[in-house]
Amino acid sequence: MLFKGGGLPHESLALQEKLFGAGPDYNFMTRIERFKNSLVRVQHFIRCCARYNLHDHADKKWFEGVAFPNEVSVLGPHSGMFIPTLKEQGSEEQIQKWVPQAEKHQIMGTYIQTELGHGTFVRGLETTATYDPKTEEFILNSPTLTSIKWWPGGLGRTCNFGIVMALLYIDGKNYGMHPFVVQLRSLKTHEPLPGLTMGDIGPKFGFDTVDNGYLQFNHFGIPRENMLMKYCQVLKNGTYTKQTRNPKFSYGAMIFVRSMVVYEVAGQGLAKACTIAIRYSAIRRQSELKKSRPEPQILDYQTQQYKLFPLLALAYAVWFTGVRMKEIYFMVNNEIKQGHTERLPELHAISSGLKAFTTSMASWGIERCRLACGGHGYSAASGLPKIYVNATGGCTYEGENTVMLLQCARFLMNIYGGVKNGRRPSGSVNYLGERISSRCTLTSEFTLKSLADAFKHRAARMIKEASERLNRLQASGNDPEDSWNLNSVVLTKAAEAHCHYYMVLVFESVVESVEDNCVKDILRQLCQLLALCGIQENSGDFIQDGFLNNDQLELVKQKQLSLLSEIRPNAVLLVDAFEFHDVQLGSILGRFDGNVYENLFKWAKKTPLNKPEDLIHRLLR
Ligand SMILES: CC/C=C\C/C=C\C/C=C\C/C=C\C/C=C\C/C=C\C=C\C(=O)SCCNC(=O)CCNC(=O)[C@H](O)C(C)(C)COP(=O)(O)OP(=O)(O)OC[C@H]1O[C@@H](n2cnc3c(N)ncnc32)[C@H](O)[C@@H]1OP(=O)(O)O
Ligand SMILES: Cc1cc2nc3c(=O)[nH]c(=O)nc-3n(C[C@H](O)[C@H](O)[C@H](O)COP(=O)(O)OP(=O)(O)OC[C@H]3O[C@@H](n4cnc5c(N)ncnc54)[C@H](O)[C@@H]3O)c2cc1C
């Protein structure tokens, strides 16, 4: 109940749908079969939404978790980017026109921004939308090879609509990036409309169930009314008007998905991997601890605990941080809707930073879980490869992680500069205005407050140093841009330290809010382990300025090891508490009933390579 909240009824409804749990094994399908199978489930999901009256985004998400386990479907970009962008950036008329059709899936859309030559550098995108007042149309064009749109999910074969980000030109003047609603395919024949060259970009590392696509515009006209006009308008005669607004509003869809990815991708992905690896480690017996005694569960080896329990603690931390990130997103977005945009920079910074920090940590953690499962972890039957390839995409999409950390660092530098000039910071950066103790107060009690304070000190110091180094680089004659680049490794580390502190702080606040003493104690242990591992892994950051001394570091190491034994009796319960159904895990190693070996054998017998096949037989005969 700590995790699921109101989600359970929808999950059990979804689990009753035979089409979701059963069917061919994903691992035995070709890419085309995976894609087709996903489309069948998409259609069934849409029928279920109508049948069960699922309208609320959160309700649908619970349902999707069962319908599309550990994968993204073409509904992802549709419901996660196309509809939110229409709602956030469309005028009332535009919302009325397109949102109901999109919500009923009468039209299917995607978010078309990235190009062959540019993804990160949005201002460098080349697609043009030139207004022609005679026809009252925008003419979309791909002037170069590098301007071909590349990557949008669902563009290859599925979507008949998209929001295209393009440079607006009126009368030869460039007005910058704007969003346009574009019909891509005929609603009758599903063929691409004349003037568009489109298709799938080919096999990828993961995302087999999504047709990421390409799109080239050849002077393709769309009505004037198709530019999303909540914040800027182009009148019939070509006059451009805009409300006083932050030009970064048109990046809103990215902020939304980044904010969601922390929980949906990093939190869920790592929690599933930990569930699999910890359950399996309780089933797997190997070697001897003591002569002539039964082989122990591998979870009893301290080294196995040292691999997995810090990841378990991290999974809890990322999960809680993801929930907090969602809350912050909706809170600040509501403020923005009321015209209060003051917290947009902070929202951008924290969502960019946490998206990068948590997806990188989760991606690394999922791979460690796989390694901890030995040989069977390498089998697709473990479910871990699928979880990994889909989760690790989160390090790249919605802003490449290094670039996102640098965006977060940019905000931190602005805030720190402001503090130097007497401004008081607030929200997630209020600590930059505090006087921070220069000596660590950690004692063998390891209170959560003292641990969080250690991370606070580290973040504040690293931000200060990054800022001072930037100033020194400039003072020694480098221009601001070169100074930034020459300082960028230090800047990303400062951003990571900020996000790390934020995550520890969120975990601490969750522990403090728990009323049940038993649950509180167990969560406190996990929170301590998370923080202690963070200190040990980054010990240089904590001792560099004499904040932490050698004795304290030794205490950290001792406590970390004793926590492993303390957590051991509850480890399986702690992953069971995530309440993933077997269908959602897609793993033989992580089965709830623990019946691993029998099912591995059954599964191997079903693999297509064991079926009679003429060519293989002839080649081997
Ligand atoms: C898909 C959804 C699925 C389910 C539905 C439900 C919910 C979602 C749930 C979960 C998601 C789950 C799965 C996802 C599944 C699949 C993925 C699907 C889709 C993927 C889509 C994409 O990848 S879309 C393309 C994404 N592209 C990017 O992210 C590009 C990254 N680049 C940029 O954002 C920018 O170019 C930049 C920020 C790097 C630089 O911008 P630039 O204009 O050059 O700005 P600067 O000059 O650097 O800075 C100027 C100032 O503006 C500030 N700034 C920058 N960006 C923003 C912003 N977004 N908001 C506010 N402010 C911003 C910047 O900090 C500077 O401020 P100063 O004050 O310092 O001047
Ligand atoms: C699975 C998946 C789904 C996607 N879905 C969509 C979609 O639906 N719609 C869409 O429009 N796009 C989509 N994309 C594209 C995605 O948003 C971009 O790939 C992403 O934003 C990264 O941009 P890039 O590919 O240009 O990377 P690049 O910017 O080329 O990154 C390459 C390297 O350059 C470095 N780098 C780049 N700029 C800087 C800088 N300023 N400072 C320091 N280092 C830098 C990066 O850190 C990285 O190491 C998807 C991508 C993937 C993988």
| pLDDT, tens digit (0-9, with 9 covering 90-100), for 88-109 | 999 999 999 999 999 999 999 9
Residue 59's domain is classified under what CATH number?
A: 1.10.540.10
**538, 558, 575 — which closes off a domain?**
575
Residue 77 in any domain: the answer is no
Residue 97 in any domain: the answer is no
The proportion of the chain whose per-residue pLDDT surpasses 70, expressed as a percent, equals 98
Q: Which of 398, 434, 445, 537 is catalytic?
A: 398
324 and 263, same structural domain?
Answer: yes
134 lines ligand 1 (CB under 6 A): no
C-alpha 404 to ligand 2 mean position (Å): 10
64 and 114, same structural domain?
Answer: no
The per-residue pLDDT for 441 is 85
Q: Taking the CB of residue 340, how many other CB atoms lie within 10 A of it?
A: 11
C-alpha 178 to ligand 1 mean position (Å): 14
From the CA of 81, the nearest ligand is 1
397 lines ligand 2 (CB under 6 A): yes
**With bands split at pLDDT 50, 70 and 90, how would you rate the model's confidence at 1?**
very low
Residue 552 in any domain: the answer is yes
Q: What are 254's two structure tokens?
A: 């990215």
| pLDDT, tens digit (0-9, with 9 covering 90-100), for 22-72 | 778 999 999 999 999 999 999 999 999 989 988 887 888 888 999 999 999
Task: Give the Cα separation of 47 and 206 in Å (integer).
Answer: 27
C-alpha 77 to ligand 1 mean position (Å): 15
Whether pLDDT at 247 is above 80: no
Whether pLDDT at 2 is above 90: no
Residue 569 in any domain: the answer is yes
Task: Give the Cα separation of 593 and 607 in Å (integer).
Answer: 23
C-alpha 401 to ligand 2 mean position (Å): 9
| Average pLDDT score over the chain | 95
The per-residue pLDDT for 319 is 98
From the CA of 249, the nearest ligand is 1
Residue 621 in any domain: the answer is no
Mutate to test the pocket of ligand 2, among 210, 258, 397, 406 (most ligand atoms within 8 A of CB): 397
Alpha helices by DSSP H, listed for 373-487, are: 374-378, 384-392, 401-420, 448-475, 480-486
Buried-exposed string 458-483: b where 16+ CB fall within 10 A, e elsewhere: bbbbbbbbbbebbeebbeeebeeeeb
Checking ipTM against 0.90, whether it exceeds it is yes
| pLDDT, tens digit (0-9, with 9 covering 90-100), for 123-142 | 999 999 999 999 999 999 99
What are the angstrom distances between the C-alpha of 473 and each of 416, 459, 467, 487, 489?
17, 21, 10, 8, 14
Residue scoring higher pLDDT (616 or 273): 273
Mutate to test the pocket of ligand 2, among 73, 78, 114, 146 (most ligand atoms within 8 A of CB): 114
Q: Whose CA is nearest to atom 12 of ligand 1?
A: 261
Residue 98 in any domain: the answer is no
The per-residue pLDDT for 198 is 98
The per-residue pLDDT for 7 is 57
Q: Would residue 335 show up in a list of annotated catalytic residues for this protein?
A: no
534 and 409, same structural domain?
Answer: yes
Residue 369's domain is classified under what CATH number?
A: 1.20.140.10
Average pLDDT over residues 493-515: 98
Number of domains in the chain: 3
Whether pLDDT at 285 is above 90: yes
**71, 100, 116 — which closes off a domain?**
71
Average pLDDT over residues 154-182: 97
219 and 328, same structural domain?
Answer: no
Task: Give the Cα separation of 548 and 464 in Å (integer).
Answer: 18
Whether pLDDT at 497 is above 90: yes
Q: What are 217's two structure tokens?
A: 């515009």
207 lines ligand 2 (CB under 6 A): yes
Full domain range(s) for residue 174: 108-241
Q: What are 562's two structure tokens?
A: 């004793």
Average pLDDT over residues 304-328: 98
202 and 267, same structural domain?
Answer: no
C-alpha 195 to ligand 2 mean position (Å): 27
337 and 209, same structural domain?
Answer: no
420 and 320, same structural domain?
Answer: yes
166 and 18, same structural domain?
Answer: no
114 lines ligand 1 (CB under 6 A): yes
Q: Which amino acid is at 403?
A: V
pTM (whole model) above 0.95: yes
From the CA of 121, the nearest ligand is 1
**18, 48, 71 — which closes off a domain?**
71
233 lines ligand 2 (CB under 6 A): no
**Which parts are annotated binding residues for FAD?**
114, 153
169 and 305, same structural domain?
Answer: no
Task: Give the Cα separation of 17 and 37 in Å (integer).
Answer: 15
